[in-house]
Amino acid sequence: MRDTTANYHQPAKRWHKTRCPSCKGTGKMLVVNQASNPPEKYYVKCWVCKGQGEKVSEN
């Protein structure tokens, strides 16, 4: 089943569910900005614990 909770965001970003280190749940979103080169990956606010995600340096 597709996750359609983030359809109103910019199409250049792909949203993936990932584990939230703040609440130890599955409520944090991993954002992949395909518009940047190399693609930029970062976490955004968790909708479970409301904690702010940290930036990650993945390639």
Measured from the Cβ of residue 31, the count of other Cβ atoms closer than 10 Å reads 20
The Cβ of residue 46 has, within 10 Å, a number of other Cβ atoms equal to: 21
Query: What is the rounded CA–CA span in Å between residue 19 and residue 32?
Result: 15
- Predicted confidence at residue 56, as pLDDT, reads 46
List pLDDT tens digits, range 33-54.
778 788 777 766 665 555 555 5
Q: Which pTM value belongs to this model?
A: 0.28
Size (the chain), residues: 59
The domain limits of the chain are 1-59
- The pLDDT of 17-22, averaged and rounded, is 49
